[in-house]
Amino acid sequence: MVEPHSADPQELLRQQTTLARFGELALRSDDLDAILTEACRLAGEALGTDLAKVVELQPDGRTLKVRAGVGWGPGVVGTATIMAEDDTSEGYALKTGEPMISPNIATETRFRYAPFLIEAGAKAVANVIIIGAKDRPPFGILQVDSLKPREFTQGDAIFLRGYANLIAAAVARLRAIEEVRAEEARQRALLETQVAERTEALGRSNAQLDAFAYTISHDLRAPLRAMEGFARILLDDFAEPLGEKGERYAARIVTAAERMERLINDLLAYSRLQRHKAEPRIVDLGRTARRIAIETRAELGDAVEIALEPSMPLVLAEPGVRGQVITNLVANAAKFRHRGAIAHIRLHTEVRRDRVRLWVEDDGIGIAPEHQSRIFDVFERLHSQDAYPGTGIGLAIVKIGVECMAGTFGVESGLNEGSRFWIELPAAGNNGAWTEQAPS
Ligand code: ADP
């Protein structure tokens, strides 16, 4: 005859203390397997059984898999399964939600037990259900297995239920965290996909816009040339019938056509650069600066004086783009000089860690601080065509040209204080210290 387990007050106090400690673990830990294993260890220890386990109900609603356990040999925890049928104590516990106790498996007539349990030598079993969160199926069952037949008291069952409920609370908490994380991750994919799609669409429409601007600019050229050509014919061959007024009008057509031609050329250069993928290589800033200085002097003669640093560092840039950028800066430095004055222009460099800054400085009319950021945008001009002709595209070309070479740009200036434009490009190794001597 199996004796019921006595409810010794000291024993009860010990059981309550371990249950409270387990409660802390169940509420704090994020590791469900650690929580389940500790529950098995404490419950088995408190009830004096050799074996304990948690079996988890699988999504099919019938299979229970041993998720955690203590005292079991190899091949049980994580592997062994029990089918939750009506003639198993597990199935019954799941169905009724009530603790199920078999004091002696050998004489048990109501239920059959899983072979791995018999093989492990279990003689008595107590099962309590681990309930699921609201509207969810049960998580599984907490089981203690004794190697001797034994009577589990009602107190034992209540005690086991305490563990099972704490496990249920931990499972609900961890699943809620998991769901929040999964939802966050889902939102983040979603967001990344949307960003990628929109970037692609933007890229496509930008490319279309570029192609459009390019074609239009090209197509505008032919009628423009015709206008200019016929206006010149009028001036050359029909000056007399035209009269003074007619001649003036024809001359204005020629001037307007020339300006439009410049605008188209600048727009084409800008649009080409926008679609351009720079292929930087090691280039000599000094050589470019010298060539541009020679060209500017040839064009403007005594109106400019250009001072160049004798040698300049090598940079990583694309020769064509770099040339265009520096040409635009020097052309502006020459153009925006004081009326009737000579433009004094100075080009020099400064090595700043792994970058080289090229300064293009002039002593011209300067730029008020409030206008300095917008002049790098397309068509932003601060002067009338009569005062200083231009298209308003030169600095926009500087901006995208420098950016496509992984560089930066800027200006320091004040009204009537001259301007100091700069571009910064990656130095070509050795901190740009490797320089080529300029010809004397
Ligand atoms: P553009 O020279 O054809 O007018 P840019 O884009 O090159 O167009 O320059 C935009 C505006 O920035 C100019 O119209 C001028 O007002 C101002 N700017 C550019 N460079 C200088 C400079 N060196 N000194 C004074 N103003 C300048």
> From the CA of 153, how far away is ligand 1's center (Å)?
95
Asked whether the beta carbons of 377 and 396 are under 8 A apart, the reply is yes
Q: For residues 124 and 106, what is the distance between their CA atoms, to the nearest angstrom? A: 9
pLDDT score of 120: 93
Closest atom of ligand 1 relative to the 418 alpha carbon: 24
Pairing relation of β-strands 343-352 and 355-361?
antiparallel
Asked whether the beta carbons of 315 and 432 are under 8 A apart, the reply is yes
> From the CA of 371, how far away is ligand 1's center (Å)?
10
Residue of minimum CA distance from atom 2 in ligand 1:
390
Q: For residues 387 and 199, what is the distance between their CA atoms, to the nearest angstrom? A: 42
**Which H or E run contains 313?**
strand 311-317
Sign of the CA dihedral 278, 280, 283, 286?
positive
Q: For residues 86 and 195, what is the distance between their CA atoms, to the nearest angstrom? A: 54
Asked whether the beta carbons of 409 and 399 are under 8 A apart, the reply is yes
pLDDT score of 400: 92
Q: What is the DSSP string of 342-381?
A: PEEEEEEEEEETTEEEEEEE--SS---GGGTTGGGSTT--
The 10 Å CB-count burial string (b at 16+, else e) for 174-190 is: beeeeeeeeeeeeeeee
pLDDT score of 1: 30
Asked whether the beta carbons of 404 and 277 are under 8 A apart, the reply is yes
Q: Phi/psi of residue 327, each to 5°? A: -55, -45
The residue whose CB lies within 8 Å of the most ligand 1 atoms, and thus the one to mutate among 259, 375, 378, 388, is 375
> From the CA of 393, how far away is ligand 1's center (Å)?
9
Those residues whose C-beta lies under 8 Å from the C-beta of residue 38, and which sit 6 or more positions away, are 22, 25
pLDDT score of 435: 37
Q: For residues 430 and 432, what is the distance between their CA atoms, to the nearest angstrom? A: 5
The residue whose CB lies within 8 Å of the most ligand 1 atoms, and thus the one to mutate among 328, 336, 377, 413, is 336
The residue whose CB lies within 8 Å of the most ligand 1 atoms, and thus the one to mutate among 362, 367, 413, is 367
Asked whether the beta carbons of 63 and 52 are under 8 A apart, the reply is no
Residue of minimum CA distance from atom 13 in ligand 1:
381
Residues of the chain predicted below pLDDT 50: 1-6, 430-440
Amino acid code (one letter) for 340: G
Q: Which residues line ligand 1 (CB under 6 A)?
A: 328, 332-333, 336, 362, 364-367, 375, 380-383, 390-396, 419
> From the CA of 354, how far away is ligand 1's center (Å)?
29
pLDDT score of 7: 59
> From the CA of 381, how far away is ligand 1's center (Å)?
6
Q: For residues 240 and 34, what is the distance between their CA atoms, to the nearest angstrom? A: 105
Give the angle subtended at the CA of 151 by the CAs of 150 and 155, to the nearest 5°. Answer: 130
Q: In 3D, which of 2, 241, 235 has the Cα closest to residue 103?
A: 2
Helices (H), 83-153: 89-96, 115-119
Closest atom of ligand 1 relative to the 383 alpha carbon: 16
> From the CA of 395, how far away is ligand 1's center (Å)?
7
Q: For residues 97 and 94, what is the distance between their CA atoms, to the nearest angstrom? A: 5
- DSSP symbol at 417: S
List the 408-413 sheet strands across, edge first. Answer: 304-308, 343-352, 355-361, 419-426, 408-413
The residue whose CB lies within 8 Å of the most ligand 1 atoms, and thus the one to mutate among 306, 344, 381, is 381
Asked whether the beta carbons of 381 and 395 are under 8 A apart, the reply is no
Those residues whose C-beta lies under 8 Å from the C-beta of residue 239, and which sit 6 or more positions away, are 247
Asked whether the beta carbons of 396 and 329 are under 8 A apart, the reply is no
